[in-house]
Amino acid sequence: MFGFNRKNEFEVEGRTVVITGGSDGMGRAVAGQLAGKGAHVVVVARTAAKLEATVEELRSKALNTLKQRFLYICADLTDASECDRVIAEVTAWNDGSAPDIVWCCAGFCHPGFFVDVPITTQRQQMDTVYWTAANVAHATLRNWLAPIPPSGQMRNSRRHLIFTCSTLAFVPIAGYGPYSPAKAAIRSLSDTLSQEIEMYNGAYTQRHRNTAPAADVKIHTVFPMGILSPGFDNEQKIKPELTKMLEESDKPQTPEEVAQIAISALERGEYLITTMFVGNMMKGTALGPSPRNNIVGDTFLSWLSNLVFLQVIPDLRSKAFNWGKTNGLPEQACGE
C-alpha cells in the first residue's frame, strides 16, 4: 500500500539483456548493474577494445559467476542491417531465444550554434542519436512481434524496449540545435510505439486462439540530465560558453547514479523516467499527451512546472539576448 513489497516490474535475473552503447558512460554502468542483478548481458558498440574491457568488468560484477553469460558485438548501429545482424547473433548465442530486454544507450552529443555547425555534422547527429535507436527498435520489434500460431505459443515473461533520451527533448537550450531535435524525435517515437504496442499486447491476450506475438512488450524512455561520461568530457570541449551558462542549474550525475535511478524506476514500472528534481520539472512542463506514471502525481507536477516555466522560458531567452548584447557574436560564428 505504501510502496513496500511492491511487485518488481523489471525482473532481470536469468534474462538476456542487450545494451547498445554498453562500452562507456551510462550504458556501461547499466550493463554492470544488470550483471549484478543476475542478467546475461550483451554489450554493443563500434570499438572492440572498450567492449572487451567491459565484458571483463561484467564478469567480475556477476551475481552468479557460473551461470551468467556475457557477450560483446561490434556494430555501427547507424546501419540498419547491422542491427538485424546484432539481434540474429544474440538470438543464436541465446539458444535460439530472442533477447528479453533491449536498452538503447548509444549516442553522443555535438553541441554548437545551429549556423556554426556544418549541416553534415547535424545529419550525423540525427544518425547517431535518432537512427541508432530507431534501427535497433525496428530490428528488435520485428523479431518480438512476429506472429506465432497458437500451437507454438508458450507463456513468456514481458519484454522491455528502453530508449535513452535527454531532458533536452522537453526544454530547449541554445547551443543544442544539432542534438535536441534527434532526442525529441526519440520521445515522439517512444510515445507512438507505446500506443501501437497496445494492439500487439491485446492480440497476445488471445494467443491460445489466434496468431499472436511471443510475449507482451513494454516501452520505456529514460531522460537523463548531464552524465559525467567520456562523451560528456568531449562535448564540454566544444560547448559554447552561453550553453554552459544556461545549463548551470544542471549538476551532472555519475553514470552509476543515473543507471541506478533508471533501473529503480523501471522496477516500479515507470514509462517516462527522469533522474533528478530539475529533470522532473522539465518533464512536467512538457508532458503533453504522453502516458503518465501516476495520474495524480504527474498532474500536479505538470501544473506546478507549467507555472515555474512561465518564468524559466523568458529567463533563458533573456540570458541569450543579454549574452549577445555583452559579448557580441561568438568567435567562429558563420565562419566555419
Ligand X SMILES: NC(=O)C1=CN([C@@H]2O[C@H](COP(=O)(O)OP(=O)(O)OC[C@H]3O[C@@H](n4cnc5c(N)ncnc54)[C@H](OP(=O)(O)O)[C@@H]3O)[C@@H](O)[C@H]2O)C=CC1
State how far the Cα of 177 lies from the Cα of 30, in Å rounded to an integer: 27
Instruction: Tell whether residue 197 is a contact of ligand X (CB under 6 A).
Output: no
Q: Which does 281 bind (CB under 5 to 8 A by kind): ligand X, ligand VSD, none?
A: ligand VSD
> What does the DSSP assignment read for 139-151?
HHHHHHT--B-GG
Q: Which three cell numbers stand for residue 125?
A: 547527429
- Among 99, 111, 224, 240, the residue binding ligand X under the rule CB under 6 A is 224
Please say whether the beta carbons of 24 and 50 come within 8 A. Answer: yes
Q: How far is the CB of 331 from ligand VSD (least distance, A)?
A: 22
Q: Which three cell numbers stand for residue 212?
A: 499472436
- Find the catalytic residue in 183, 218, 239, 283: 183
Q: Which does 126 bind (CB under 5 to 8 A by kind): ligand X, ligand VSD, none?
A: none
Query: What does the binding site for ligand VSD look like in residue numbers (CB under 6 A)?
Result: 109, 166-168, 171, 173, 225-226, 232, 235, 247, 249-250, 278, 281-282, 308, 312
- Find the catalytic residue in 179, 218, 239, 283: 179
Q: Which of residues 12-51 bind ligand X (CB under 6 A)?
A: 20-21, 23-27, 45-47, 50
- Among 99, 255, 279, 284, the residue binding ligand X under the rule CB under 6 A is 255
- Which residue's CB is nearer to ligand X, number 125 or number 153? 125
Question: Measuring CA to CA, which residue among 194, 34, 190, 16 is closest to residue 91?
Answer: 16
Q: Could you tell me which residues come within 8 angstroms of residue 202 by beta carbon, excluding any fewer than 6 positions away?
A: none
Q: Which three cell numbers stand for residue 91?
A: 538470438
- Which residue's CB is nearer to ligand X, number 178 or number 213? 178
Please say whether the beta carbons of 164 and 105 come within 8 A. Answer: yes
State how far the Cα of 135 lies from the Cα of 83, in Å rounded to an integer: 6
The answer to whether the Cα torsion of 34, 36, 39, 41 is positive or negative is positive
> What does the DSSP assignment read for 30-51?
HHHHHHHTT-EEEEEES-HHHH
Please say whether the beta carbons of 305 and 279 come within 8 A. Answer: no
- Which residue's CB is nearer to ligand X, number 73 or number 214? 73
- Which residue's CB is nearer to ligand X, number 227 or number 266? 227
Q: Which does 177 bind (CB under 5 to 8 A by kind): ligand X, ligand VSD, none?
A: none
H/E element holding 301?
helix 295-327
- Which residue's CB is nearer to ligand X, number 132 or number 153? 132
Q: Which does 78 bind (CB under 5 to 8 A by kind): ligand X, ligand VSD, none?
A: ligand X
Q: Which three cell numbers stand for residue 50?
A: 572498450
Q: Which stretch binds ligand X (CB under 6 A): 127-135, 211-219, 264-272, 296-304?
A: 127-135
Q: How far is the CB of 274 from ligand X (least distance, A)?
A: 11
Where are the alpha helices (H) located in 7-160, listed in sequence order? 25-36, 48-61, 80-93, 119-125, 132-144
Please say whether the beta carbons of 227 and 255 come within 8 A. Answer: yes
Q: Which does 105 bind (CB under 5 to 8 A by kind): ligand X, ligand VSD, none?
A: ligand X
Question: Measuring CA to CA, which residue among 98, 217, 87 is closest to residue 160?
Answer: 217
Q: How far is the CB of 86 from ligand X (least distance, A)?
A: 9
- Which residue's CB is nearer to ligand X, number 99 or number 213? 99
Instruction: Tell whether residue 100 is a contact of ligand X (CB under 6 A).
Output: no
- Which residue's CB is nearer to ligand VSD, number 263 or number 286? 286
Q: How far is the CB of 179 from ligand VSD (least distance, A)?
A: 6
- Among 99, 107, 175, 177, the residue binding ligand X under the rule CB under 6 A is 107
Quick check: is 200 catalytic? no
The cell 561520461 sits on which residue? 229
Quick check: is 271 catalytic? no
Active site residues: 179, 183
